[in-house]
Structure 1
Amino acid sequence: MRRLTAAVAASLLPGLMVIAIAGLPVPAGAAEPYDAYADEACDGYFDPLLLERGSRCSGSRERSCPTVRHWTPRRVSRQLPACEGVAQAAHPLHAERIQSSYLALRPDHGAPRAIYLMLHWHRATAHEAVNYLHLQDLARSRGALVIVPDVPGNQWAQSGSRNINQHVAWVDAVLADAQRRYGTGNLPVYLVGLSNGAAMAMHYACARADRIDAVMPVALPMYRSDLAACSFSQSIGYVQVHGDSDRFVPYRGNLWFASAEQVYARMRRNMDCVDAGAKAARLESPLTPVDIRYGDGCVGGRRGYLLRVENAGHTWPDMETLSGRDRNPYGLIARNFDATLQGYDLLQLAAGR
């Protein structure tokens, strides 16, 4: 019963996730007001090496698609605003005894450069994932084909569930349908998930490493037993983002969940990485500095990245809220790292692109 309760708590990112409450003040005594967008050097491309060369690389100024501020929750969950330069469509799909659909966003001029497959959190819809995580900007700014499935019941199968293999097979079907429909079978595939979606992304990566190039779980709940059983059939890139004040899935782990660092270490072993060449960088911020641990030396030119977001909760860095504030019931939201655009850049680096 405790295991089930922990799983439900870890995967819960319901509609409350976007009801913001008061943010934290900037600490007194700061030398100057903090500007999360003070350095343009990383716009269009984020690489921790730029931090070592003196760039701040904080935030991203590339967003140009509409935000959800001042919308109603109902509109956010069911509508997509038009965004110049982005073509969007919903495609029904009946496969593996699942009747549902997925959203597809792509640049309206030119061919996509990669497939970004996003698995939403518990109780969310594909529309909410697109709106709150600014996924339209990925199609516009990075030229990605963004695929966001709507899983029936708004919840991905959890560890030990009898339908977990069915959900893995349905993700197979979504990816295959999108590749056929858009003629993108030769493009790299980046798999991403948040919370319950992150857990499903890792189930998929452990079972289907030969079908993706990199995976990025954010706020990942990974049972210790699942971690011990996970292996990759081939080396893939790995990016992990986790807040160290996550109350639902503690960064340091607990009786049920492996710690973020234990997961990262296991994934590097799965990628056949050597320990030599490990590096570290830091994104500064008064509230949510981000420590980045990374290294290459992996088979196939792959890389691994672990981002520890200090003071952040069970949240997606730089996600939107209805009020525009920096905190919701799941904790503090970092504004100095954009897990959508800059996370995509890390996925490319992790995949060796």
Structure 2
Amino acid sequence: MNISEGSAEVDGLTSDFLVLTPAGTNTYAGTYLALHWAEANAPTMVDRMRLGELAKARNLRVVVPTAPGPVRSWGNSVVIPLNSVDQRIAMVDAVLAAADGISKANGPLIVGGVSGGGILAFQYACARAPAVTGAIIVAAEIRAGDLDTCQPAGPFASIQVHGTADLVAPYMAVPVLSAGAEEIFQRLYENNGCTADNVQTTQMATDSNPLISEIDVAWAKDGCTTGKGSSLISVQNGGHNWPGYSGPLDLPVNLYGPTADGFDTTLQGYDLIKYLGG
């Protein structure tokens, strides 16, 4: 595994970032941009979300920036960033351009994020599709205003992973706090030329945590006019976390609610976004 460091600057703001690539090759299947939660950083995101494993297993260039400023947040989650959405989008542009100076990767661009990082993953995909081919949006506090301003220039594959008992990012629509996971799913699949008739569902069992009853998977792809699809993975009674993450303690509940590893957001999430056209 090759790990390189870099930095990018926009409007006086600086983001340090890591680039992970598999050893022994300079040809990659694409780029995965990973955005951390509030007050975290790139090294922690790499470690907790097993991004080195992702880079090696799927032959990817993985780019992981740390949010700029004294308040390290990519989105309005738990703590409020001191910079604007436009500045954060421009920062991601600058990070990707600087990463190209370290290692180039042709092919698809997938952006994935959790919590505040999930908010910016959504916003960045909305702003940069179709250059962004897919977005993995995990436990993200996407509000009605965010949904209204999402006017992508093209389709992008999408996955939402959301716990139904998430107290930070409510699963159901709540005025001011949340546009609602199912409402967001509908908007995203409609952007991909899908209708409700294209939506299929299945369930995944989770044996490892008795607090999680099941994981419900909804997706739309077959019959969608753009060739891209969307999925909503609902973790029943799940909290505010990234299913499949590697935490410091293997506990069924953490500070942000019940955890689930019946779905591996890192590897299975990437495979699913590829299936959906990302």
Q: Using structure 1 for the length normalisation, give the TM-score.
A: 0.72
Q: Could you say if the C-alpha distance between residues 179 and 348 of structure 1 is closer, same or farther in structure 2, counting changes exceeding 3 Å?
A: farther
- Deviation per CA, 1:91-114: give whole Å up to 9, x if none: 122334322311111110222211
Give % identity: 32
Query: What CA distance in whole angstroms lies between the structure 2 residues aligned with 1:322 and 1:161?
Result: 29
Are the equivalent residues in 2 in contact too, given 1:240–1:306 (CA < 8 A)?
yes
Q: Could you say if the C-alpha distance between residues 157 and 133 of structure 1 is closer, same or farther in structure 2, counting changes exceeding 3 Å?
A: closer
Query: What CA distance in whole angstroms lies between the structure 1 residues aligned with 2:39 and 2:142?
Result: 19
Report matched runs for 1:1-353 at 5 Å.
86-110=1-25, 111-152=27-68, 153-158=71-76, 163-184=84-105, 186-256=106-176, 257-286=178-207, 287=210, 288=212, 289-296=214-221, 297-351=223-277
Q: Using structure 2 for the length normalisation, give the TM-score.
A: 0.90
Instruction: Indicate the RMSD between aligned Cα atoms, in angstroms.
Output: 1.8
- Deviation per CA, 1:40-76: give whole Å up to 9, x if none: xxxxxxxxxxxxxxxxxxxxxxxxxxxxxxxxxxxxx
Query: What CA distance in whole angstroms lies between the structure 2 residues aligned with 1:255 and 1:282?
Result: 29
SS in 1 for 2:17: strand
1:136 deviates by 0.8
Query: What CA distance in whole angstroms lies between the structure 2 residues aligned with 1:133 and 1:140?
Result: 14
Are the equivalent residues in 2 in contact too, given 1:157–1:163 (CA < 8 A)?
no
1:161 deviates by 7.0
1:335 deviates by 1.5
Q: Structure 2: which 5+ residue stretches go unaligned? A: none
Structure with the larger strand share: 2
Are the equivalent residues in 1 in contact too, given 2:67–2:74 (CA < 8 A)?
yes
1:225 deviates by 1.8
Query: What CA distance in whole angstroms lies between the structure 2 residues aligned with 1:334 and 1:183?
Result: 35
Are the equivalent residues in 2 in contact too, given 1:326–1:335 (CA < 8 A)?
no
Aligned residues, how many? Answer: 266
Query: What CA distance in whole angstroms lies between the structure 2 residues aligned with 1:160 and 1:197?
Result: 11
Query: What CA distance in whole angstroms lies between the structure 2 residues aligned with 1:183 and 1:348?
Result: 20
Amino acid at match of 1:341: L
1:311 deviates by 1.4
Q: Structure 1: which 5+ residue stretches go unaligned? A: 1-85
1:157 deviates by 4.6
1:302 deviates by 0.5
Amino acid at match of 1:135: L
SS in 2 for 1:121: coil
Query: What CA distance in whole angstroms lies between the structure 2 residues aligned with 1:315 and 1:160?
Result: 20
SS in 1 for 2:167: coil
Q: Could you say if the C-alpha distance between residues 90 and 206 of structure 1 is closer, same or farther in structure 2, counting changes exceeding 3 Å?
A: same
SS in 1 for 2:24: coil
Query: What CA distance in whole angstroms lies between the structure 2 residues aligned with 1:160 and 1:271?
Result: 30
Query: What CA distance in whole angstroms lies between the structure 2 residues aligned with 1:161 and 1:205?
Result: 21
Are the equivalent residues in 2 in contact too, given 1:273–1:299 (CA < 8 A)?
yes
Query: What CA distance in whole angstroms lies between the structure 2 residues aligned with 1:252 and 1:293?
Result: 16
Report which of the two structures shows the higher radius of gyration computed on alpha carbons: 1
